[in-house]
Chains A and B, each alone.
Chain A
Amino acid sequence: MTTENADTDDWVRRLSSSGPERDDAIAELTQLLVRGLSRSMANRYGNLVQPEDVVQDALLKILDSLETFAGRSRFTTWAMTIATRVAISEMRRKRYQDVSLDSITSDDNLSLDIATDPSTPGETQIDRANVLSTLQELIQTELSAKQREAIQALLGGLPVEEIARRTGSNRNAVYKLIHDARVRLKSGLERAGVIAEDFNAIFA
């Protein structure tokens, strides 16, 4: 057995034990997670969430799912993965708590008008207008109302997880709903002769 495996087994054993040994392991893990999150979350999101607060929730999840830990990674990596997800989920909840879905998706029309930029060469402007009108058409004909709403919410800045929270759905389902919409729009554009590689040239 490698040292790494031994270490991982030791974490699981200590956390599954009782008494002071378990308490020590929990304290040690708490310290590690706080240390990791203090760096990673503060760097990106400032002090929107306090690592000490989210680590308590994360620990509950970790202890609850100890049995599902399959040992395919180090234990501490696995624990950090859970803690990171809990922390970001809480960060998103706080950051978007005042944003309602209605304020972003107030009507069912996703209108793709963009102001004409006089510095853009005429030819590119025509290409642009063509792509946009094709896209507009596809959005209306190929997407379901739910897909249009989800795309609007996404473009309005709401992360998938927050869209799910507001629509009583779950993240997986919303991701799939949006992914399916993306696939439909992409193949629709391709049928119309617009390939993804052209986007950058036209909209640079």
Chain B
Amino acid sequence: MSISKKQISNLLGLIASTENDATDCEGCFSHLAEFAELELAGREIPEAFQAIQRHLEQCPCCKDEFDVLIEGLKALPPEDE
């Protein structure tokens, strides 16, 4: 199949953003809640979460879910306290 210019630039974007990924979608998911709380609190990402960060930078599926999660959490009342 022939692919469009946009698809080629998407492919090159995917290639350019490729780094070693020490985790996968499941590993990312199992720490996503804590990661989201760090993000919402505006805290620096500790070393232990760098792998999650790197996975999110490379996996559009998980990134979409993360972005939606953050929006959803913002809509919750700040109770819990």
Interface residues of A (CB under 8 A from B): 3-4, 7, 32, 35-41, 43-44, 72-74, 76-78, 80-81, 83-85, 87-88, 104-107, 109-115, 131-132, 135, 151-152, 154-156, 159-161, 171-172, 175-176, 179, 182-183, 185-186, 189, 196-197, 199-200, 203
CA–CA, A176 and B75, complex, Å: 33
30 cross-chain CB contacts under 8 A: A36-B72, A37-B72, A40-B75, A44-B68, A72-B34, A77-B36, A81-B32, A81-B69, A83-B72, A85-B65, A88-B64, A88-B65, A88-B68, A106-B1, A114-B5, A131-B12, A135-B11, A160-B25, A160-B61, A161-B61, A171-B61, A172-B26, A175-B24, A175-B25, A176-B24, A182-B58, A186-B18, A197-B16, A199-B12, A203-B12
CB pair B72–A80 under 8 Å, yes or no, is yes
Given contacts A36-B75, A106-B1, contact A84 B69 (CB under 8 A): yes
CB pair B76–A76 under 8 Å, yes or no, is yes
CB pair B1–A152 under 8 Å, yes or no, is yes
Which residue on chain B has the smallest CB distance to residue A109? B1
For B60, list chain A residues within 8 Å (CB): 159-160
Which residue on chain A has the smallest CB distance to residue B62? A175
Contact indicator per residue, chain B 1-26, by CB within 8 Å of chain A (1) or not (0): 11111011111111110100100111
Residue among A72, A81, A176 having the largest count of chain B Cβ atoms under 10 Å: A81
CA–CA, A76 and B65, complex, Å: 16
Residue among A43, A77, A200 having the largest count of chain B Cβ atoms under 10 Å: A77
CA–CA, A41 and B65, complex, Å: 10
Q: Beyond A172-B26, A182-B15: 20 further Cβ-contacts under 8 Å? A: A3-B81, A32-B76, A36-B72, A36-B76, A40-B72, A72-B33, A73-B36, A77-B36, A77-B37, A81-B36, A84-B69, A114-B8, A131-B12, A152-B1, A159-B60, A159-B64, A172-B25, A179-B21, A182-B14, A186-B16
CA–CA, A197 and B26, complex, Å: 30
Which residue on chain B has the smallest CB distance to residue A79? B33
Which residue on chain B has the smallest CB distance to residue A159? B61
Interface residues of B (CB under 8 A from A): 1-5, 7-16, 18, 21, 24-26, 29, 31-34, 36-37, 58-61, 64-65, 67-77, 80-81
Which residue on chain B has the smallest CB distance to residue A179? B21
CB pair B29–A81 under 8 Å, yes or no, is yes
CB pair A76–B80 under 8 Å, yes or no, is yes
**A-B pairs with lowest CB-CB distance, top 6:** A36-B72, A40-B72, A39-B75, A196-B16, A73-B33, A40-B71
CA–CA, A171 and B23, complex, Å: 13
Which residue on chain A has the smallest CB distance to residue B38? A73
CA–CA, A77 and B69, complex, Å: 9
